[in-house]
Amino acid sequence: MRISLIPAVTYVNDDELKGKTAVVIDVLRATSVMTTAIINGASEIIALTEVEDALRMKDAKCILGGERKGLKIKGFDLSNSPLEYTRERVEGKRVVMTTTNGTKTLNKVEAADKIYIACMLNGKAVGKRLVEEEKDTVIVCAGTNGKFSIDDYACAGKIIYEANKFGKVELDDFAYAAFSAYNDHKDDIISLVKNAYHYKYLLSLGLGEDLKYCFKEDISDLVPEYKSGRIK
């Protein structure tokens, strides 16, 4: 199987996705939130691009979550902090989310056969799943405001590193570079990702605990899947 890597949502093209599996990464913080909500028993997550569409879905049975500029959206129940998506808050509930880069990226990769949600929290499980399914895969980094982001790159490197332990994978040049960066920094991943623009921005908002949480590795074996606008 072959893994290729796309640096940011801006570079997604449908022809590259057709017939393949896509893995979407937005470590800071959309896919970390989604994975956490599923770990904590959310029944499903609806990923939307627009705030107005999310507000229209507001009812007693669902929770609205997400951000703009990293902050909670007016009228929403939760921000985009994974630490807010506790079992007490989300178990058995539908979560409706909109974020600047993460939910947008999911909506852009719908040409793929299958779409998985990945982050550091489930990186090993994602790598294992890819090798078990032996299907050519495109890992898509959401990036930040359309640009390459080191945090997503580091996570892509981890998934490739894990996949490579489970079986033989062929890599394109960018996937190899991510693998190599993760391999060189795996004992202190923060030394790499602390240079990311979005890492520094979230730190400036006082969200250091989110950053620590999002870089915990392999706390879950769950691999959430996005299908027809819904994550389960």
Q: Where do contacts with ligand MLT occur on this chain (CB under 6 A)?
A: 26, 28-30, 67, 70, 80, 99-102, 202
Q: Which two tokens stand for residue 118?
A: 């990945």
Closer to ligand MLT by CB, 166 or 197: give it.
Answer: 197
Task: Choose between 162 and 210: whose C-beta lies nearer to ligand MLT.
Answer: 210
Which residue number places its CB atom closest to ligand MLT? 99
Query: Smallest gap, in angstroms, from Cβ of residue 169 to ligand MLT?
Result: 27
State the nearest-atom distance from the C-beta of 144 to ligand MLT, in Å.
7
The β-bridge relationship of strands 226-227 and 230-231 is: antiparallel
Backbone angles phi, psi at 158, to 5 degrees: -65, -45
Q: Among 56, 125, 119, which residue's Cα sits nearest to residue 85?
A: 119
**In the block, which residue shows the tokens 């945090």?**
151
Taking phi over 0 as left and psi of -120 to 50 as alpha, with beta for the rest, 28 belongs to: beta
Least distance to ligand MLT, CB of residue 168, Å: 33
Name the minimum Å distance from CB 167 to ligand MLT. Answer: 31
Burial environment of residue 67 by CB neighbours within 10 A (0 to 12, 13 to 18, 19 or more):
buried
Residue whose CB is less far from ligand MLT, 102 or 123? 102
Token pair belonging to 99:
């974020």
Decide whether 69 or 168 has the Cβ nearer to ligand MLT: 69
Q: Which is nearer to ligand MLT, 30 or 231 (CB)?
A: 30
Half-sphere exposure of 75 (CA within 13 A, CB side): 12
Shortest reach from residue 150's CB to ligand MLT, in Å: 14
